[in-house]
Amino acid sequence: RLLRCVRFACKFGFDVDPAIVAAAQEVRGDLERKVSRERVGIEVGKMFEGPCPDRAADLLMECGVRDLIFAQQKVNKKKVPEGPLQSLGWTQDVACPRDWGLSLRRVRAMAQCSTCRCETDREMRQVLCMAALFYGVAPDLDFTAPLLVQNEVMHSWVDPITTHSLKLPNRFATACAQLLVAAKNYGPLMQSVPAAEAEGVAADLQGIAQQLLQHVAPDKGIDSGRVKFGEWMRFAGPVLWRAAVCLSYCCCTDPPTALDDPKGPVAVCSMTLEQAGLVVCTEMKPLIRGDQLQKSLELPKGPSVGIATQCLLRLQMAHPTYSEEQLMHCMSA
């Protein structure tokens, strides 16, 4: 009933009686012991698809149950929960990226973002807002590592929260981790553009667009910036890349700001994708089969063929117009 009280207060704009907040401290133990985590996850999901997910999270904090709701639950090899719930480590330090108030402002900006407001998929709205809440406490990533490796790190952090603690579907953890990795890599991707005086996504968007378009022009040959952009777009996928750009913008601007400008970062990425000839990168398949690569390059069976295939895809993104013969020549060289 405490969780429903919070949900209804946010849905209908009610104030919560101080007596309810005081009583919340008394029922905290019962909420942990007697209420199933599946029921908790359902209520939290409804809060985050509602109009004020930031207020819902703040009310949970005010009622003293935030670290009971948003926590990591370890499981054994048989997927059975074991050990106490672990806090995610928010702070009350405004100078720290883990600051609780900053996390709430990020959620508010994400909820007001046009992408989130127009999202008809209720589960995607939950993912977007929860990813904004987790952005500050999520693990730091090694941006030099492949995106799939980064995704493994993020998924191993998200999964104990969403799947094991809140009992949300496995696809929730998959989408949330992918979204966080794509959003956290967007700023460094923009900063990698030569001569662009950029500070993440809050920089001059038009300047970034011009520099990025020059940097990934098809006639530039093999270009690390171009390939990085293609790999990022391929990792984010045709469904999540716009949401990832919006999440990065909301979380990296100071103060967190909703993205509603159609000429903003989403349009920049879309234009760059088209100008760079990478429109099909999200659906790109290797033009040369693995067995052909293995035979032509005299590779042993196993991981080396997969590595060669990834190199082939990078070449295809660097040279969208190359034929199979030209690609094989490059691979051999």
The per-residue DSSP string of 13-25 comes to TPPPPHHHHHHHH
Measured between alpha carbons, how far is 323 from 333 in angstroms, rounded to an integer? 15
Crossing angle of helices 100-112 and 224-252, rounded to 10°: 100
Is 118 in a helix, a strand, or coil? coil
Residue 217 — pLDDT band, cuts 50, 70, 90?
Answer: very low
Per the structure block, which two tokens stand in for 93?
Answer: 């330090």
Give 1-39 pLDDT, tens digit per residue. Answer: 999 999 999 999 999 999 999 999 889 889 888 989 999
* pTM of the entire predicted model: 0.82
**Radius of gyration (C-alpha) of the chain in whole angstroms:** 22
Per the structure block, which two tokens stand in for 288?
Answer: 């040369």
pLDDT of residue 192: 54
Per the structure block, which two tokens stand in for 213?
Answer: 């378009």
DSSP letter for each residue of 28-94:
HHHHHHHS-HHHHHHHHHHHHTSS-HHHHHHHHHHTT-HHHHSEE--B-TTS-B-S--EE---BS-T
Q: Beta strands 86-87 and 71-72: pairing type?
A: antiparallel
Contact 156, 139 (CB under 8 A): no
pLDDT of residue 172: 94
pLDDT of residue 48: 92
pLDDT of residue 261: 67
Q: What is the dihedral of CA 127, 132, 133, 134, to 10 degrees?
A: 80
Measured between alpha carbons, how far is 159 from 217 in angstroms, rounded to an integer? 39
Measured over the CA atoms of residue 99, residue 100, residue 103 and residue 105, the dihedral's sign is negative
- Helices (H) then strands (E): counts for the chain: 16, 2
Measured between alpha carbons, how far is 25 from 92 in angstroms, rounded to an integer? 20
Place of tokens 């330090």: 93
Whether 144 shows a pLDDT value over 80: the answer reads yes
